[in-house]
Amino acid sequence: MSKVKTSFYCQNCGAQAPKWLGKCPSCGEWNTFVEEVIQRSDSPVKTTGNFKSTESRPKKIEEIEQGNEQRTSTGSGELDRVLGGGLVEGSLILVGGEPGIGKSTLMLQVTLKMKGRRVLYISGEESEQQIRMRAERIGYGDPDCYILTETNTQSIFQHLETVQPGMVVIDSIQTLQTNIIESTAGSISQIRETAAEMQRFAKTTGVPVFLVGHITKDGNLAGPKILEHMVDTVLQFEGDRNYGYRIIRCIKNRFGSASELGIFEMRDTGLREVTNPSEILLSQREDDVSGVAVASTIEGIRPMLIETQALVSTAAYGTPQRSCTGFDTRRLNMLLAVLEKRCGFRLGTKDVFLNIAGGISVDDPAMDLAVISAILSSGEDIPLNQHICFAAEVGLSGEIRPVNRIEQRIAEAEKLGFKQILISKFNLKGLKTDKWVIRITGVSKVEEVFGILFR
Ligand code: TYD
Ligand code: MG
């Protein structure tokens, strides 16, 4: 009789246990353990994939040939930027995002635009016809690209040997299946093993591999942390589905800065790169309206002007509501408490809604002053001067705190035609204010801001 070897895996964090557990001892989640078949005793044990691995031996550090850190362009400036300047040979890149956000579109676009190397696009989710149709929408010239619909890694490695691509895209890691393990595709043990096979392939052949990964409901990469430490780079694709804008963020990068960010716009012909984000994030307004303030923020190394909109209204029922889109609600509550205490602003009976234009979310502390100004403006129902923008953090005692890279923020504000920028007094130190045309005003307390805005 064949004996089946099984093990239990937490579907949230990947922890393994010999028996079922109600609560995961590693991540504390309940009811996440699932039994997975690892190996049947009658099936021959295969220990390695199909490609040959080179023999290893310890080497002295200076003996090791210097890898060419040379970067290849992916044909997309925004993607190159998040990758830290382009594609590195032999790197394994995970692209995560919610279903329907545009991961397949982006990867197919890169496949079609890649110059000078053959790309193999392996899809386990769509048929060849579907991919062709999508490619027609995106449009392509004369790419050297092959499409393969296959999920078994052993047969994928065979095809890799014949096609000899210079880059591989796998859409998605959750559909891959290896013969070594018998559990179903998408289970923790399959994801772990197939990703490890792809990692070995990338490292031994020097061919860069993109893995597309789905994100679970609560925003984690499915098959989660186990993948993050295995890959060189983790990119996350995000955006509000109701808006056309998509942001690709770097969460981890072994070959560059992890705070980079690229912006795309989803059109009917695929993703268009957005090279000047400030222009799209500032909504076109003709008249002065109250409750709108512009912040000069930095995402990664990129300055962006972002519009914040606040609505303060009398609470109709009991507990007032506080609601944020694109901003941290706890931070809003803190700023409201500061306003209440320092400016004598009675917000206890008011509903406060806050919205960041363009459906993006930001966590730059330099947003604080703009958020406070937008709330004050809406509360007083007095529009702010359209030509003022803000860049400062607000502390608990109502002090206006300095933020980093102030020169870049000022330069971006000036470039977009703002006449005045409010920053922290501490940021004025060593700043050559006569270099700019824009008026730079340093403030140290929230109360002062009130005076400047509503004189
Ligand atoms: P897709 O790349 O299939 O998402 P994922 O692989 O992340 O699940 O993107 C699907 C969405 O993108 C779908 O809602 C349709 C939209 N889309 C466009 O708006 N224009 C296009 O040219 C393409 C190809 C897709
Ligand atoms: Mg897809």
* CATH number for position 441: 3.30.230.10
Q: Kindly state the tokens that stand for 432.
A: 């050559």
Helices 153-163, 188-205: axis angle to 10 degrees equals 20
Within a domain: 36: yes
- Overall pTM > 0.85: no
* Residue 100 alpha carbon to ligand 1 centre in Å: 6
- If asked whether residues 294 and 348 sit together in one domain, one would say yes
Structural domain containing residue 84: 71-275
pLDDT of residue 46: 47
Looking at the structure, tell me whether residues 287 and 354 fall in a common domain: yes
Query: Measured in angstroms, how far is the CA atom of residue 99 from the centroid of ligand 2?
Result: 7
Which pLDDT belongs to residue 175?
92
User: Ligand 2 mean position to 237 CA, how many Å?
Assistant: 12
Q: Is the CB of 242 under 6 A from ligand 1?
A: no
Domain total of the chain: 3
Ligand 1, atom 23, lies closest to the CA of 270
Q: Which of 222, 251, 275 lies at the terminal end of a domain, its last residue? A: 275
Locate 193 and state its tokens: 């093993």
Among 233, 254, 275, the domain-final residue is 275
Q: Is 105 in the pocket of ligand 1 (CB under 6 A)?
A: yes
Are residue 77 and residue 184 in the same domain, yes or no? yes
Same domain, 218 and 328: no
Q: Does ligand 1 have an atom closer than 6 angstroms to the CB of 253? A: no
Nearest alpha carbon, ligand 1 atom 19: 268
Q: What is the pLDDT of residue 220?
A: 56
Least distant ligand from the CA of 101: 1
- Ligand 1 atom nearest to CA at 126: 3
Ligand 1 atom with minimal separation from the 106 CA: 2
Ligand nearest to the CA of 95: 1
CA of 269 to the centre of ligand 1 (A): 10
430: left (phi over 0), alpha (psi -120 to 50) or beta: left
| Distance of alpha carbon 125 from the chain centroid | 22
One domain for residues 35 and 116:
no
290 and 249 share one domain: no
Cβ-contact 281, 304 below 8 angstroms: yes
Counting ligand 1 atoms within 8 A of each CB, the residue from 98, 104, 105 with the most, and so the one to mutate, is 105
Structure tokens at 272: 């268009």
Residues 327 and 357 in one domain: yes
Q: Which residues of 239-278 are buried (b: 16+ CB within 10 A; e: fewer)?
A: bbeeebbbbbbbeebebbeeebbbbbebeeebbeebeebb
Q: Which atom of ligand 1 is nearest to the CA of 101?
A: 7
Does any domain span residue 167?
A: yes
Measured distance CA(181)–CA(168) in Å, rounded: 23
Same domain assignment for residues 343 and 395 = yes
**Which residue from 111, 137, 266 has its CB within 8 A of the most atoms of ligand 1, so it is best to mutate?**
266
Question: What confidence score (pLDDT) does residue 97 get?
Answer: 86
Q: In this predicted structure, what is the pLDDT of residue 396?
A: 93
Cβ–ligand 1 contact at 189 (below 6 Å): no
- 33 occurs within a structural domain: yes
Q: If the chain, 455 residues long, is cut into consecutive pieces of 10 residues, what is the mean pLDDT of each piece?
A: 74 84 88 76 48 70 75 89 89 90 92 91 94 92 90 94 94 90 83 92 94 72 68 86 81 81 88 79 70 88 86 85 91 92 83 86 90 92 90 94 92 87 92 88 91 84
For the record, the structure tokens of 430 come out as: 């060593």
Q: If you take atom 9 of ligand 1, which residue's CA is the nearest one?
A: 102
**Domain co-membership, 253 together with 292:** no
97 alpha carbon – ligand 2 mean position (Å): 10
